[in-house]
Amino acid sequence: MRKDHFEVTHRDVLGRVGKLRTPHGVVQTPALMPVVNPNIEFIKPSEIKKLGAEILITNSYIIYRSKLREIAKDKGLHKLLGVDIPIMTDSGSYQLMVYGDVEVKNSEILNFQKEIGSDIVVPLDIPTPPDAEEELILEDMKITIEREREAAEIFNGCENLLAFPIQGSTNPKMRRMFAEEVKKICELYDVKPIFPIGAVVPLLDTYRFSDVVTSILEVKSVLPPSCPVHLFGAGHPMMFSIATALGCDLFDSAAYALYAKDDRYMTVRGTEKLEEINEFPCSCPVCSDYTPRELRSMEKKERAKLLAKHNLYVSFQEVRTVRQAIRSKTLFELVENRIRAHPYLLEAWRQIRKYGKLIETYDPNIKSRFFYTGIESLMRPAIQRYMNKILDIPPDKEELVVTDMYSNLKGDLYLRPCFGIVFPELIESYPAGHAEMPEDGLIDDMAIKTAVNCFLKYAEKYKNIKFIVKVSNRWNIIKELAEKRGLKNIVVERESNDELQH
């Protein structure tokens, strides 16, 4: 397996900004690949490039089965589409999923993709649908793995990048097992792999975002960190920040066109029906030049093209926003903002709690800021890391006064929501001292509870030290929990200047 086709330049959470090297040039990731159907005259590939696409995806099976086959063989894929940017080619797996059958053999479609000069080649994998029985998943897996092995043989030593789709339905164990198998094949050949996570479209279409998050994280637990990952079929901008934060580098979108043809308008917060929009919230050329009413009065085909352009603008804008958030290490803040667009996204993101160790491995140690945006911020590795570090710093006195960070009383230790205790000398440092959050009286109870638990652990570890706690009523829970744990070295005194109770 070769790794020089993907270089990571910036990281945050599990996300990365990188450079993907293909035979037709370097693509900045995360990248969105708009889907182009060579048989349907819609927005021209050259126009899509102008809108911001650095890479496209098309379907080699459609070309192979049509009169375009000879032109593609003769002139090559890039001349056929009229662009010089990298192009990924799908193999017909989608058709297999929708129609249950395709009239092509794996080796046939692979050699065709090679012949026409595809930059990223996909074997004919079998997309196992959601909620499949284990038996079916294993059966499909066996065939797909065999086809991926065949692909590795055909592309051994080639310059084309080769996709190794990872299926496994909605079964976390099977996703992981599939990723293990695929990894083994790659290691045996001189190939430049990318790893698409397959069959997520039916999950995205039905808002089963939790299953998507679990699928990604199971796969990421197995794959080498340096490998590019493609969330196959994810084309809605509302997913980009989350999927990137979980470690996906490539997306593809047929949605921009499909939605447009159905009069649907994309935003990072979801999809709107054109008939229900009074004014466009976006400033792209389409939304600046036309009002919703003007678009509605247009002929359908023209309207669909304009809506598709808007959908692409808003998608590329979000990709740039995500890349910038990675560079500034504020991807957690961006994601925690985006997940508030839909309750199922919120639910999905909370799945990361089960993958704390994995996220801890990837997420950078030092960032320039910590903005608390809600209880999801408590799941960031920065908090756990800080707590672990603090526990190893012994107190330097027999008796310590513990106060609120912003109290008028002088303390030896401060209590801060989220983090627990802060030593005066750490008050200027990341994360506990740096963090911006609502004041103690207005922050979520869970942030207080998290902090109290940290404090109690500390007091438990240093049992011979007396902690005299002088904090506002907001921290009342300390007394109760300390008694429950039998911690006699904590004495709670009411803070005299208790402003928060007024």
The set of catalytic residues is 90
Which residue, 177 or 260, has its beta carbon nearer to Zn ion?
260
Which residue, 17 or 312, has its beta carbon nearer to Zn ion?
312
Residues 362, 14 contacting (CB under 8 angstroms): yes
In one letter, which amino acid is 60? Answer: S
Dihedral-angle region of residue 430 (phi above 0 means left; psi in -120 to 50 means alpha; beta otherwise): beta
Q: Is 68 in the site for Zn ion (CB under 5 A)?
A: no
Long-range contacts of 97-105 (CB under 8 A, 24+ apart): 97/127, 97/129, 97/199, 102/61, 103/65, 104/61, 104/64, 104/65
CB of residue 35 vs Zn ion: minimum separation in angstroms? 20
Which residue, 232 or 259, has its beta carbon nearer to Zn ion?
259
Stretch that binds Zn ion, among 11-19, 259-267, 279-287, 484-492 (CB under 5 A): 279-287
CB of residue 267 vs Zn ion: minimum separation in angstroms? 9
Q: Which of residues 297-326 bind Zn ion (CB under 5 A)?
A: 310
Q: Is 32 in the site for Zn ion (CB under 5 A)?
A: no
How many residues bind Zn ion (CB under 5 A)? The answer is 4
CB of residue 317 vs Zn ion: minimum separation in angstroms? 9
Six-digit token string for 282: 């976006």
Which residue, 149 or 310, has its beta carbon nearer to Zn ion?
310
Which residue, 254 or 282, has its beta carbon nearer to Zn ion?
282
Residues 242, 198 contacting (CB under 8 angstroms): no
In one letter, which amino acid is 438? Answer: P
Paired strand residues for 413: 402
Bond preceding residue 30 cis, omega within 30 of 0: yes
Q: How far apart are CA 414 and CA 234, in angstroms?
A: 45
Which residue, 288 or 496, has its beta carbon nearer to Zn ion?
288
Q: Is 282 in the site for Zn ion (CB under 5 A)?
A: yes
From candidates 287, 331, 352, 482, binder to Zn ion by CB under 5 A? 287
Count of C-beta atoms within a 10 Å radius of residue 477? 15
What H or E segment, with its residue span, contains residue 163? strand 161-163
In one letter, which amino acid is 262? Answer: D
| Residue 218: φ, ψ to 5° | -65, -45
Six-digit token string for 124: 């004919």
Which residue, 286 or 358, has its beta carbon nearer to Zn ion?
286
Stretch that binds Zn ion, among 109-117, 285-293, 296-304, 453-461 (CB under 5 A): 285-293
Q: How far apart are CA 23 and CA 292, in angstroms?
A: 42
CB of residue 279 vs Zn ion: minimum separation in angstroms? 11
CB of residue 288 vs Zn ion: minimum separation in angstroms? 8
8-state DSSP, 166: B
Which residue, 138 or 282, has its beta carbon nearer to Zn ion?
282
Q: Which residues contact 69 (CB under 8 A, 6 or more apart)?
A: 63, 112
Q: Which residues contact 376 (CB under 8 A, 6 or more apart)?
A: 336, 339, 346, 349, 350
Please name which of 65, 119, 121 lies closest in space to residue 91, comparing C-alpha atoms: 121
3-state class percentages of the chain: helix first, strand second, coil last, to nearest 5: 45, 15, 35
Paired strand residues for 67: none
CB of residue 328 vs Zn ion: minimum separation in angstroms? 25
Tokens 């935003």, residue located: 267
CB of residue 281 vs Zn ion: minimum separation in angstroms? 8
Per DSSP, the three-state class of 125 is coil
Per DSSP, the three-state class of 225 is coil
**Contact positions toward Zn ion, by CB under 5 A?**
282, 284, 287, 310
